[in-house]
Copies of this chain bind each other. A is one copy, B any other.
Amino acid sequence: MTTDTMSPKITVELLRQLRQAMKNSKYITEPIQAYIVPSGDAHQSEYIAPCDCRREFICGFNGSAGTAIVTEQHAALWTDGRYFLQASQQMDNNWTLMKMGLKETPSQEDWLISVLPENSKVGVDPWIIAADQWKNMSKALSGAGHSLVAVQDNLIDAIWENRPSRPSTKLTALALKYTGFTWQDKITTLRGKMSERKISWFVVTALDEIAWLFNLRGSDIEYNPVFFAYAIIGMSSIRLFVDSKRLSDPAIREHLELDSPSKPDLSVQCFPYESVYTELQAVCAALEPKDKMWICDKASCALTQAIPKSHRSAIPYTPLCLAKAVKNATEIQGMKMAHIKDAVALCELFAWLEKEIPKGTVTEISAADKAEELRSQQKEFVGLSFPTISSVGPNGAIIHYRPLPETNRTLSLNEVYLIDSGAQYIDGTTDVTRTVHFGTPSEYEKECFTYVLKGHIAVSAAVFPNGTKGHLLDSFARAALWDSGLDYLHGTGHGVGCFLNVHEGPCGISYKTFADEPLEAGMIVSDEPGYYEDGSFGIRLENVVLVVPATTKYNYRNRGSLTFEPLTLVPIQLKMINTDLLTQKERDWVNDYHRKCRETIGAELERQGRKEARDWLIRETQPIV
């Protein structure tokens, strides 16, 4: 993305134009006093295509989460703890940074109510605000005498010269050896769930759900192997909305059986991407009174409101979201293989860094590039799963930092180095963070690292009953930090897709209690506590872990227990650990983990003939005594 920069974007002129558009009868019937610019696209994607980076366009901040609101007098941006530093650096002083999660920070609703003149109209594009957010915002505003109005023409697009066009990349069909189930199997299972709940239609809007359902991948959004599409699934029909020229590919036609469907109710009808609204209206017009239609409450307000309320069943997460989260045996095997390849690349990277850093020529950017190069040598590599966070010293404290020429620091023997990176392989997605020191870390750095490690272990080794929601584990990751008055302002873990988005629902580990589903065997999440000392250093320790059944001494009410198995197998730097702060159980965990790294990754390094990395691995996995 060419817009990446850490110097503030000058927004005086853009804000002037936007404020004019807010009064321009070309776009709106009555002037609006505020305009909300959400972060997402029409599919509520976290990562978005350049054509959808409207919030970044207006304010300059390009993190993955944040909402901008512009009124006649003010411009404010809400984002969370991961992005406080970055947002403050990327925005000019026309913008106020609203730090979400701090007690003194008003909600968007409360702020609007405090600054708006009486009876104001607040506008938003109904295609890029989620239905549940619309509802909450609308309720709060009308409660204070204002109103939320849908502005059909996007006002950012209206002032955006040379806005990029919507991508339409080549689609790839995934073989059964990667997916475990055909798309026909998945449709049949889905329809089973629909009929169980007496649902006759399901509007699928999340791009990763569509990609997973049809066993198709694209590259419309960087790092996310998805493609722009909608689907409307009925009990005997399947409508797929996608740019029609993509369907000229014979492999895709064959995969979807477009020319010779095996069964009539498993035949896919294709429609242009843009026709989803009118087609949905047509489907709705033909509904029987009893018919119910599922749509996610995070789907766009526009599409949601196209379904008459009496037919609409808005759900916090869809059955596809849950089905996708619980990996099948084939997917688990693929994820394990992907993590082995990924660990090989990272062991090579660290061995290389150890050798090269003393020369003073390795920078955050070149280290990230090297990591990508090493990953790309692994089989079935597709690309990165998110922009590599390669950060030295104070840059490490910027939680979602991405090195840029003007911020690029050189790796040295004197500063902590944090690298959070991952890749897409055809068999799986990875996401791993290691924090290392190539010289001698300070006692304080070691102390903080050790608290983070204790938190990481507390989650990874946790045993908990079947049915436990991930948010109940979040505090385990923080207890050691809390004891010393420390903390980190982000969640502890997120779901990870299988050759899909690196962040996915509906499970996760966070102090925020979103509508997370209970953890189940087969789910895959990250475990990534951290500690960030602004202006000094950042620490994060992240493994991707698989939920597995646990064997316990007792079994209360036959509920069964779960625990985690690390899929990430990359050594944790012993030099950063103050072993005096570890309990014997924690020391055992580290030794056991390193033994697994040595066995599994050592064998693969051997097989690939990567001797230097293997030697490095053996050195780095010596047991603690």
What is A's interface to B at a CB cutoff of 8 Å? 103, 143-145, 198, 290, 292, 313, 462-465, 467, 469, 471-476, 478-479, 482-487, 511, 513, 552-556, 559, 561, 583
Q: Are A555 and B485 within 8 A (Cβ)?
A: yes
Q: Are B143 and A486 within 8 A (Cβ)?
A: no
Q: Are B511 and A482 within 8 A (Cβ)?
A: no
A–B pairs, 30, beta carbons within 8 Å: A103-B467, A143-B292, A143-B313, A145-B290, A462-B479, A462-B482, A463-B482, A463-B483, A464-B475, A464-B478, A464-B482, A465-B485, A465-B487, A471-B513, A472-B474, A472-B475, A472-B511, A473-B475, A475-B476, A476-B479, A484-B553, A484-B554, A485-B552, A485-B553, A485-B554, A485-B556, A485-B561, A486-B554, A487-B556, A583-B583
> A484–B462 Cα gap in the complex (Å)?
11
Q: Are B472 and A561 within 8 A (Cβ)?
A: no
Enumerate chain B residues within 8 angstroms of A471, measured Cβ to Cβ.
513
Q: Are A482 and B561 within 8 A (Cβ)?
A: yes
Enumerate chain B residues within 8 angstroms of A552, measured Cβ to Cβ.
483-485
> A474–B476 Cα gap in the complex (Å)?
10
Number of copies: 2
Q: Tell me, rounded to whole Å, the shortest Cβ–Cβ distance linking A296 to chain B.
A: 16
Enumerate chain B residues within 8 angstroms of A467, measured Cβ to Cβ.
103
Q: Tell me, rounded to whole Å, the shortest Cβ–Cβ distance linking A527 to chain B.
A: 15
Most buried by B among A464, A476, A556, A559: A556
> A149–B462 Cα gap in the complex (Å)?
47
Question: Closest B-chain residue to A483, C-beta based?
Answer: B463
Q: Tell me, rounded to whole Å, the shortest Cβ–Cβ distance linking A457 to chain B.
A: 13
> A553–B556 Cα gap in the complex (Å)?
39
> A555–B472 Cα gap in the complex (Å)?
24
> A474–B473 Cα gap in the complex (Å)?
10
Q: Tell me, rounded to whole Å, the shortest Cβ–Cβ distance linking A450 to chain B.
A: 13
The 7 residue pairs across chains A and B that have the minimum distance between CB atoms: A485-B552, A485-B554, A513-B513, A484-B553, A472-B475, A485-B555, A486-B556
Enumerate chain B residues within 8 angstroms of A484, measured Cβ to Cβ.
552-554
Enumerate chain B residues within 8 angstroms of A143, measured Cβ to Cβ.
292, 313
Question: Closest B-chain residue to A313, C-beta based?
Answer: B143
- Besides A465-B487, A486-B554, 7 other CB < 8 A contacts? A465-B482, A472-B475, A484-B553, A485-B552, A485-B553, A485-B561, A486-B556
> A583–B582 Cα gap in the complex (Å)?
13
> A475–B556 Cα gap in the complex (Å)?
16
Enumerate chain B residues within 8 angstroms of A144, measured Cβ to Cβ.
198
Q: Tell me, rounded to whole Å, the shortest Cβ–Cβ distance linking A89 to chain B.
A: 18
| A559 in complex: contacting residue of B292, B465, B487, CB < 8 Å | B487
Question: Closest B-chain residue to A467, C-beta based?
Answer: B103
Q: Tell me, rounded to whole Å, the shortest Cβ–Cβ distance linking A429 to chain B.
A: 28
> A198–B485 Cα gap in the complex (Å)?
37
> A363–B486 Cα gap in the complex (Å)?
50
> A479–B477 Cα gap in the complex (Å)?
13
Q: Tell me, rounded to whole Å, the shortest Cβ–Cβ distance linking A114 to chain B.
A: 10
> A340–B556 Cα gap in the complex (Å)?
37
> A465–B559 Cα gap in the complex (Å)?
33
> A476–B473 Cα gap in the complex (Å)?
9
Q: Tell me, rounded to whole Å, the shortest Cβ–Cβ distance linking A39 to chain B.
A: 25
Enumerate chain B residues within 8 angstroms of A465, measured Cβ to Cβ.
482, 485, 487
